């Protein structure tokens, strides 16, 4: 950010000195943003990596910083003919979108949504129809219209302010409602800075890849500085103006996607982290069961005040959600209501580190028709568990995990545009072999993990686990091994 725009300076462990503008500081000093101090970025990863206690608060400021850097990188080059330059209002909106992009996260970050989708369907057949992005947009709208903060006037006059507020929300979504109109094609690159729904290369990921790795003491780090130095706006064959990178930087961007893959394997889906996620899922299941007990005098804990799109219009429900942070775990633990006793017993197990244990990790690899094969092996596991008179999910949980480069089985680089020396305005797709002959050919692997939930006193059931292992494939499942099932 230019010096003259700086209002406050903060020191960040990942990026060093960060310059904040006046509007950013005003947003940070709202309860909407301060709530992010109490949402850990990695939920339960600190059960494996003690340093993984950083928050959505720090991450959001880091994304703001990188968005400012990307704006500077784009402005360092002349735009191709026909592209629309970023106006001062556009740049302001990009910075705000970067800062506010995670306001809608619930307790335990992504785990909250994943748990909600599972347990609500089991509980009453409903679904958590809202993603955290949906809640973010509602909270951004509420924050800018909150009379306590007077933020809307900092965007512009009344009519203009509403237009810019809508732009902020579209930048967070990474998609403009009118993007197929000629005008929007000329500035699509703006919508790829904070959340790039096309390729997955955006400043949000650049921050959390490096921040998460640093917090966990893992050496993998993506050199976003190099990508920034070669980023510019290019014109595609379709006449759309998108973010592009120099052709020789394709290998560096492959390393970004490999960093993503590595972090999922080492951190986000570590066997103990997943065990914790499963335990919290059971805590939520137990709370929902307790809430069904009829007693009007008992105070119930509402785990999901926001479920449907219409809930976003309900100010009471939004205010309830705003009070939800990671301390939800302690609210359940410390409740005096008898109906939450089972949930409290589970939380005590967590405190005593009597965690669910991984029984088997079965990779499904080198198979054609992957989805059908995954379904087949899942059915086989379920039938085997049933034969041993064990119960799902009471005794055993089967968890399907996918590790990829962000585009499932597809090569993510094929989603990106590059430019060549002397043809800087023209965006082209690269052939993989022109990057390097030594690159991945498979971009996704699927694992089926079995976790057991038994206590040490369940000796009879524990004895059956060894038999279960013998009855299931030990490791990788090829086409030939599947035929034996």
Each residue's pLDDT expressed in tens, for the chain with a length of 485 residues: 554 467 999 999 999 999 999 999 999 999 999 999 999 999 999 999 999 999 999 999 999 999 999 999 999 999 999 999 999 999 999 999 999 999 999 999 999 999 988 888 887 777 777 889 999 999 999 999 999 999 999 998 878 999 999 999 999 999 876 554 566 788 999 999 999 999 999 999 999 999 999 999 999 889 999 999 999 999 999 999 999 999 999 989 989 999 999 999 999 999 999 999 999 999 999 999 999 887 666 788 999 999 999 999 999 999 999 999 999 999 999 999 999 999 999 999 999 999 999 999 999 876 677 888 889 899 999 999 999 999 999 999 999 999 988 877 788 888 999 999 999 999 999 886 666 655 677 778 899 999 999 998 899 999 999 999 989 876 544 444 444 44
The DSSP result for 248-313, as a single string, is GGHHHHHHHHHHHHHHIIIIIT-HHHHHHHHHHHHHHHHHHHHHTS--TTSPPP-S-S--SGGGGG
H or E element in which residue 473 lies: none
CA angle 428, 433, 439 (to 5 degrees): 115
The DSSP result for 172-189, as a single string, is HHT--TTTTSHHHHTTGG
> 3-class DSSP state for residue 356?
coil
Say if residues 95 and 21 touch (Cβ distance below 8 Å): yes
Say if residues 365 and 476 touch (Cβ distance below 8 Å): yes
Sign (positive or negative) of CA dihedral 348, 354, 359, 361: positive
- Number of neighbouring beta carbons within 10 Å of residue 65: 26
DSSP-derived pairing of the beta strands 16-20 and 241-246: unpaired
**Both tokens of residue 291?**
């809430």
Where helices occur in 323-472 by DSSP H, the ranges are: 328-333, 341-351, 370-387, 432-435, 459-471
**Both tokens of residue 149?**
């903060």
> 3-class DSSP state for residue 148?
coil
- Phi-psi category of residue 182: left, alpha or beta, with phi > 0 → left and psi -120 to 50 → alpha: alpha
Phi, psi of 210 (to 5 degrees): -75, -40
- Tokens 């570590």 correspond to 270
Say if residues 353 and 272 touch (Cβ distance below 8 Å): no
CA 448 from chain centre, in angstroms, equals 21
Helix axes 341-351, 271-291, angle to 10 degrees: 160
């Amino acid at each position: 950010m230019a010096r003259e725009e700086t209002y406050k300076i903060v020191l960040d462990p990942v990026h060093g000195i960060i310059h904040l503008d006046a509007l950013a500081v005003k947003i940070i000093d709202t309860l909407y943003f301060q709530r992010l101090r109490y949402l850990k970025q990695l939920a339960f990863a600190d059960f494996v990596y003690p340093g993984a206690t950083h928050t959505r608060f720090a991450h959001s400021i880091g994304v703001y910083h990188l968005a400012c850097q990307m704006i500077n990188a784009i402005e360092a080059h002349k735009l191709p003919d026909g592209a629309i330059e970023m106006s001062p209002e556009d740049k302001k909106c990009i910075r705000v979108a970067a800062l506010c992009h995670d306001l809608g996260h619930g307790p335990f970050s992504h785990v909250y949504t994943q748990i909600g989708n599972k347990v609500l369907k089991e509980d009453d057949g409903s679904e958590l129809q809202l993603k955290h992005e949906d809640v973010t947009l509602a909270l951004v709208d509420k924050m800018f219209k909150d009379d306590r903060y007077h933020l809307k006037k900092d965007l512009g006059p009344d009519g203009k302010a509403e237009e810019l507020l809508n732009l902020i929300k579209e930048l967070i979504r990474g998609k403009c409602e009118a993007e197929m109109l000629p005008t929007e094609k000329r500035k699509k690159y703006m919508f790829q800075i904070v959340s790039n729904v096309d390729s997955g290369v955006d400043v949000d990921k650049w921050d959390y890849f490096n921040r998460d790795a640093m917090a966990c003491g893992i050496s993998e780090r993506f050199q976003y500085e190099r990508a920034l130095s070669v980023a510019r706006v290019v014109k595609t064959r379709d006449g759309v103006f998108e973010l592009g990178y120099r052709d020789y930087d394709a290998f560096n961007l492959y390393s970004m996607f490999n960093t993503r893959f590595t972090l999922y394997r080492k951190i986000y889906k570590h066997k103990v982290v997943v065990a914790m996620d499963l335990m919290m899922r059971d805590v939520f299941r137990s709370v929902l069961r307790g809430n069904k007990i009829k007693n009007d005098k008992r105070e119930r804990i509402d785990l999901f005040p926001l479920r449907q799109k219409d809930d976003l219009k309900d100010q009471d429900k939004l205010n309830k959600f705003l009070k939800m942070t990671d301390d939800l775990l302690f609210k359940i633990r410390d409740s005096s209501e008898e109906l939450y006793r089972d949930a409290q017993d589970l939380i005590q197990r967590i405190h005593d580190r009597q965690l669910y244990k991984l029984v088997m990790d079965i990779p499904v690899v080198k198979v054609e028709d992957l989805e059908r094969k995954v379904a087949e092996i899942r059915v086989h596991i379920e039938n085997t568990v049933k034969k041993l008179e064990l119960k799902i999910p009471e005794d055993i949980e089967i968890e399907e995990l996918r590790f990829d480069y962000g585009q499932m089985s597809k090569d993510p680089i094929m989603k990106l545009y590059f430019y060549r020396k002397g043809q800087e305005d023209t965006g082209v797709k690269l052939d993989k072999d022109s990057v390097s002959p030594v690159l991945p050919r498979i971009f996704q692997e699927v694992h089926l993990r079995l976790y057991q939930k038994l206590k040490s006193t369940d000796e009879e059931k524990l004895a059956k686990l060894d038999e279960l292992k013998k009855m299931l494939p030990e490791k990788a499942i090829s086409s030939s091994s599947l035929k034996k099932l």
